[in-house]
Structure formats: structure tokens, C-alpha cells
Structure 1
């Protein structure tokens, strides 16, 4: 059985004034596999060590199954921690390393040996029981570290980037084993990583941190499709989301368009409610997010009612084996993720998002769809600006046998239902234009 872990306004500030974790509140359910995801230095490992009792708490509370755990010793929390560096005893055999937690509890040596052998068999290392860590490969040492954690039958597993030092093929195999073991034991698991592919593959939910602040916690699917802000959108997904500077133009009796510099995307009529929200931010600097799968080549196919044309100039073809990535120039301006103001921290965890505020404005203003003077024409492909230096501001997927070359003009079709639109602070404005929320 696992434990429910509740973090209430948890914070960690070091004596030099550096804040590692900022007012973080989160509940991890019994038996859940939660992944803490974020770049190096964002506070993931610090948070994990606070839960384990290895790091003091500056503010807030930790509850384990409803019991306040702030002052509990690590040994009293029934948690097992697996570190990046394995932390095995070099002078002990595999059997002794796995059985060490039970030996410390002064259990019967025969039972310790039996439990260690059983766990080693589950992990596929029972033939290595008499070897020392120096005689094992990296993957084998990681299995021993996992075995030492599993043998205690803890209610909570805390894993701090346990696979980061292994090669990609071995990481993929051990991910499956970690998931299998935690599911079988029923333990609640918190797994720290900076690898978004690992997070998406493992987590029931993923919590994204940036600068010690919780940005979003959600299922992998929702995290990808409905990111809370531009940072989450850019951190999750391979290849990275296309993020461009843009502006919304909404004439009273004309077609609403999203400008991407030298080219424009005309939104279809009638507008969805989420597209209507864009009237409030027309003329303001925005960030326009497009996943690579929202864009396709239009050389041999017609546009659907929700697709709009663009033209790109090939600047670079990146061969990936199973696909090719085309780096295209649109004549627009590629955007970076905005810095995170410290004052934004309470706002990010508030239910009063920009989307909710805009919905309130629309409700009071009575704005509604107006028929455009002329419907947008999906068959006209605009002319991009001349080729610029660099590798382009747009990435599009293509077949691995792609014949396209640098300097070639390509017609593109963009599904405007998949536009992700953020304000200049990076907060999401238009989350899901295919959905019609109640106002």
C-alpha cells in the first residue's frame, strides 16, 4: 500500500536568500506515480529531499497519510529513496547491498537472504548476488539500488533522476521495469527528471517546475494539449513547439486574422467561443504556439475547412531516421519563452487565469460573431519574406525520404483549431479552440 502525500504552501529558502521552492501546494494520491519535471536548478531534487526528511523546510507543511511529517526523522517516514549515483556499498556483494535495510533492522539473517534473493530474481539480477558493485555494469548497479529500495516494502518511493547516467537504450528498458515494480508494490512514487520524454512515458500526472514555482500539474495528455503557459508548452513535446511573435486583427465587419509577421492566418467563420476571446487582445503583442503536427505540407492535398495556407522557405532538413524535420522561414519572428517574474508566482497557482478574465469581459460586453465581408480563401498561399540567416522559425514533420532542399518554397496548411495563443507574459489565452466553454 502507498501513502497520500499532501504538500501545503511548501517553501525552501537558503541562508544566502536563494529560494529553491516557492509556496508549492500539491497532493499525490495513494499509489500514484507523479513525475516532477523541469530544467536543472528548478527545485525538483530539493523538493524530493524535503519530502524524504533530508532537507529542512523553511515554510509550509508535509502530510503523509494525514500525519504532519515536518519533524519526523527520515527513518520514521517509511520512504525509500533511489539516487542518481546509486550509493551502493563498494565492499558489499549484491545480496548484502539489497538486504542491508533489513539487516539494519536486525531481522533474521536467513530471512534477509531469502528476501534479497526474491527481489533480485524479480529484477533479473539473481545471477549477480555474489558480485560487488565494481564488478557490475551501470544498469546492473541501478537494479541493485532499486532492489535495496524495494526490499523494505516502503509506502513511498522517491526517485531522483535514477536513469540519467545510463545510455538511452538501457534507460528505455529500465523505465518499463520501474513502472512494473511500483505498480506491483502499490507504493506512491515521486520521480524526478529533466527528460520530458521520460516524464510523459512514466507519469500518471506530471508536475512542471520552473524556478521553484509549480507551473502546472496534469496528465501527460493534457499537459501536451493544454499547457498552462508558454514555458510548459515549450518544455513538453519533441520536436519543440513552434513559438512565434504574432498579433490578432479583428475588424468589426471583416475576417479575424492572426498575423505572423509577413503572413496571416484567417480564422474560420463562425468563430468558436475561444476564438471570440481573442477580440479582447487584438492589436496586443502575443505569442503564437503551433505544434509540428498542426502543420502539414500541402503539395498534393486540399485544405479542410479549418486549415489555412502559409508558405515556408526550407532552410534546413534534419534527418531523424523515422522522419525528417523541415526548418522553414516564414518571414516572421521566432519567440523565446518570457522570463518568469517572481511576482507572478501567486498568480500562476490562482484560478483567475487570463482565459477566465477574458470570458468575464466577453460576458459583460455582449460581443458576438459578425459575418465577415468575404470568407477566408484557403487556396491562396501567401509569399514569404526572403530567406534570412539562421535555421528558420518553423519546424514541420516530413517523410524520412523527403526530397526537399534548402531554398525551396513549400505550401503549408495550418489547422487553426490547434493554435495555442499566449499573452506577452507567456500565459495561455486560447487553450482549445475546438471546445466551446460555457460563459
Structure 2
């Protein structure tokens, strides 16, 4: 059975004052498979090494099964770690590498041999036990490293990007073996990766890190559908979410709409609870997030009650075999993920200030070029010649479609799937306090 792992305001600061991790609070349940996900240099490997006892904790507390573990030696933590480079002893056979932890603990040689053979059989490497690491492939060395980690049945597995040096096909197969092995042992597992596909495939939950700050901890599905901020939204999902600069228009005598530059995206009436809260954001700079499945190619006459029409120009056609990705221009401005806020934990604004209330009650007319009805399809002013731009929106099309650069496309946007972020990148819609019925 795995151990519980609890981090309370854990921080790591290197000599010279350089912070690596800032006030991380996180609980991992016994036998849970948690993935630490983030870009290189975000602190995920440092956090893993702190749990293993290979890095000191500058601030905060680490508890293993309720016991304070800050000052415990690595050998006292009942953890097994698999590194990116496998760290096998080159002068030992595969069997000797797997059995090394048992030899260190002076286990009976006959019992140790049985445990080594059982671990090798489970990993499909029984025929490799007499070979030195230099005669093994990358995937075989990874299996030996896993065998060494599992042979003494630790309560915690810590894996630091164990598959990053392998080819894509082998990674896909071995990550399933890792999941199967950890499930059989019942050990609590923390797996570090920068590959969001691995994270989504493996994790019971995923913890996303950025610049040493924990952004969100949730199930893969919730990370994708309800990201806490624009960074999480952009880091999770293939192809990457499209972020577009936008503004809310909420005239007293007209429909609520989102400006995407040259076009308006009108929201259905009556407004949903999540769209109603956008009224108080009128005039504020926003980031509008659209995932590919929120948009389909169709004429306005085919729209459902929750879809609204836009027009796009194809800037680039990306053939993927099973599908085609279309990079489109809407006449708006593509947005980048905002810098990390100075505070550690993003806290979306939920209160209505007096100035926002004043703006809400103040009538603001749309410019004459934007006075269009909610049901009218919006077209771009003119077709620009194809350029080197890749556009601000990416959508999927069937592999058999025959689209070309410069072509105009009618689009329908499912407004239930809009993700709206403020200028700091914090999600404001859907409401962080409300999970919509999609």
C-alpha cells in the first residue's frame, strides 16, 4: 500500500536568493498516480528530489504518511526513484542492477534471487538478466531501472522524466507498462514530465507548475475543460488552444457580444449564468480562448441555438494524415500567455466593484461599423492575399477535405465552449465557482 504525501507551503531557494519553488501546498493520496507537469526549469524535478530527500527543503513541511520527513535520510523514506538516464551500474548485469537494493539491505540471496526473477518476468526482461547495460537498448535499460525500483516494493515511486530519451513509439508502450506496474504494487506514484500527452494519459491528477508556482491540480479532464488560467489552457491540449485579444460590449439596448477585432461574436439570449457575469467586464481587455472542437465549418443557416457565425481566411493548411489543421485569420490579434503574476496563487476576481457597476449602468453605443444583428453572419472587410502569417485560430478539418490558402470559410462557434480570461490570464468564464452544464 502506498504512502500519503503532504506538502505544506514548501519552498526551495538556492544560494544567492534564487527561488526554485514558491510555497507549494499539495496532498497526494495513498496509491494515487500524480503527474507533475510543466516546462523545463519550472521546478518539477526539484520538487521530486525534495520528496526523495536528495534536495533540502528551505521552507515548509513534508509529511509522509503523517510523519514529518524534512530531515529524514533518503533511505528512511521508503521511496524508489527512477531517473531520466536510468543510472544503472555499467559493470553489473541486469540481474545485479535489479537486485542491488536487496543486496544493500542484506536480504537472503535465495529470496533476493526469487524477487529479481519475479520483477524481471513482470517486465518481460527475464531473457536479459545476464547482460550488461551496454548491451541493452534504451527501452530495455528503462525496464531494468523499473525492476530495480519495484523489487523491494517501496510505498512511493518517484519518476523523473524516465521516457524522455526514448523514441515516440517506445514511449507510448512503456508508459502503459509503468502504469500497469505501479497499479499492481499499489505504490503512490509521482511522475515528472514536460509532455502533456504523457500527463493526460497517466495521471489520476495532474499538477501544473510554472516558474516554481503551482498553477492548478486537477483531473486531466478538468484541466482541459476548466483551466484555472491561460497558461494551463495553453499547456494542455493538442493542438494548442487559440488565444485572441477581445473586449466585451454590453449596450443596454443590444445583445451582449465579444469583439474579436474585425468581428463580433454575439451571445445567445437569454444569457447563461456564466455569460451574464461578462457584463461587468465591459471595456476590459480580455483573452478569448477557443479550442478546435468549439468551432466547426458550416453556413450560418446550419447554426444551432448555441452557435454563432464568424468568417475566416485560411492562412496555412497543415496535413496530419488522420486530420487536417487549418490555421485561420479572423481579423483579430493573436494573444500570448501573460507573464506569471507576482502573487503565488492566481485568484480570479469575483466581486463587482463600484466602478464596474458604474460602467455596467453606463450606456455605450457600438461604432456604426459594428451595428449588426445577432443573427447576421459577419464577413471580413476584404480578402487579403495569403501571407506568412499562421493566423490566430486553429481548427480541425477532415483528412479528405481540400482547403487552400486564401480561401474564405464560414464558421460556427459553440459559445458554451468559450474560455474567457482577464488581462492577467486568470479564467473569468466559465465562472470559477460554477461548473457549467455542457
Deviates more, 1:252-261 or 1:300-309: 300-309
Deviation at residue 353 of structure 1 after TM alignment: 2.7
Contact 1:40 1:194 in 2 (8 A): yes
Q: Considering only aligned residues, what root-mean-square deviation do their CA atoms show, in Å?
A: 2.3
CA distance in 2, matches of 1:181, 1:5: 20
User: Which residue number corresponds to residue 178 of structure 1?
Assistant: 178
CA distance in 1, matches of 2:382, 2:76: 65
1:383 aligns with 2:383: no
The count of residues paired between Structure 1 and Structure 2 equals 425
User: Which residue number corresponds to residue 7 of structure 1?
Assistant: 7
CA distance in 2, matches of 1:121, 1:430: 51
User: Which residue number corresponds to residue 231 of structure 2?
Assistant: 231
Deviation at residue 383 of structure 1 after TM alignment: 2.3
CA distance in 2, matches of 1:189, 1:233: 25
Give the match's secondary structure for 2:334: coil
Query: Counterparts of 1:302-313 in structure 2 under 5 Å?
Result: 302-313=302-313
1:69 aligns with 2:66: no
Deviation at residue 389 of structure 1 after TM alignment: 4.2
User: Which residue number corresponds to residue 161 of structure 1?
Assistant: 161
Give the match's secondary structure for 1:422: strand
Deviation at residue 380 of structure 1 after TM alignment: 1.9
User: Which residue number corresponds to residue 417 of structure 1?
Assistant: 416
Structure 2: gaps (5+ residues):
362-370
CA distance in 2, matches of 1:286, 1:267: 16
User: Which residue number corresponds to residue 371 of structure 1?
Assistant: none
Give the match's secondary structure for 1:71: coil
> 1:83-139: CA deviations, max 9, x gaps?
000000001111110010001111111111111011000000001010010010000
CA distance in 2, matches of 1:19, 1:413: 46
User: Which residue number corresponds to residue 195 of structure 1?
Assistant: 195
Give the match's secondary structure for 1:252: coil
> 1:32-63: CA deviations, max 9, x gaps?
00000000000000000000000011100000
Deviation at residue 375 of structure 1 after TM alignment: 10
Query: Counterparts of 1:28-427 in structure 2 under 5 Å?
Result: 28-299=28-299, 302-341=302-341, 343-345=342-344, 347-348=345-346, 353-354=348-349, 356-358=350-352, 376-378=373-375, 380-383=377-380, 386-387=383-384, 389-427=388-426
CA distance in 1, matches of 2:46, 2:435: 40
Deviates more, 1:386-395 or 1:410-419: 386-395
Deviation at residue 379 of structure 1 after TM alignment: 5.3
CA distance in 2, matches of 1:178, 1:250: 52
Deviation at residue 381 of structure 1 after TM alignment: 3.7
Deviation at residue 300 of structure 1 after TM alignment: 9.6
Deviation at residue 234 of structure 1 after TM alignment: 0.4
Structure 1: gaps (5+ residues):
369-373
Give the match's secondary structure for 2:302: coil
CA distance in 1, matches of 2:22, 2:307: 42
Distance verdict in 2 for CA 1:135–1:382, change over 3 Å: same
CA distance in 2, matches of 1:280, 1:6: 39
Deviation at residue 229 of structure 1 after TM alignment: 0.3
Contact 1:417 1:432 in 2 (8 A): no
Give the match's secondary structure for 1:251: coil
Distance verdict in 2 for CA 1:40–1:326, change over 3 Å: same
Contact 1:381 1:411 in 2 (8 A): no
Give the match's secondary structure for 1:357: coil
Give the match's secondary structure for 2:21: strand
Contact 1:242 1:395 in 2 (8 A): yes
Q: Give the TM-score of the pair, scaled to structure 2.
A: 0.93
CA distance in 1, matches of 2:354, 2:225: 25
Q: Give the TM-score of the pair, scaled to structure 1.
A: 0.93
